[in-house]
């Protein structure tokens, strides 16, 4: 979408550039949405790495209940983070 809008921006000329400024604002907003989506994708991969570390501690120390509780809380926190991310993406469109 961002590239398509960039192609539609006319060359700068004297006079009324109101449409160009709106197109530039839309491109900036699209760039922001793209960077937020990228950070959400990075967050998902970090989640799995951190979850694997906790699971390895559970496997190493199966008798410690705190590790089991921490994985439950970690998963619940991730669900809330994903819900917030989805709401943010929805609000952009």
pLDDT at 13: 64
Higher local confidence (pLDDT), 11 or 73: 73
Nearest to 92 by CA among 18, 20, 3, 2: 2
pLDDT of residue 21 exceeding 90, the answer is no
pLDDT for 33: 86
Residue 23 has pLDDT above 70, yes or no: yes
Question: In order of start, what are the domains of the chain with their CATH numbers?
Answer: 32-93 (1.20.120.180)
Terminal CA-CA length for the chain? 12
Distance between CA atoms of residues 64 and 68, nearest Å: 7
Least confident interval from 18-27, 31-40, 50-59: 18-27
């Amino acid at each position: 979408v961002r590239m398509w809008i960039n192609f539609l921006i006319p060359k700068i000329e004297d006079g009324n550039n109101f449409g160009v400024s709106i197109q530039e604002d839309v491109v900036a907003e699209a760039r922001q949405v793209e960077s937020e989506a990228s950070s959400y994708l990075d967050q998902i991969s970090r989640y799995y790495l951190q979850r694997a570390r906790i699971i390895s501690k559970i496997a190493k120390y199966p008798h410690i209940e705190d590790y089991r509780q921490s994985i439950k809380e970690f998963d619940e926190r991730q669900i809330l983070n994903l819900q917030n991310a989805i709401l943010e993406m929805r609000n952009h469109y």
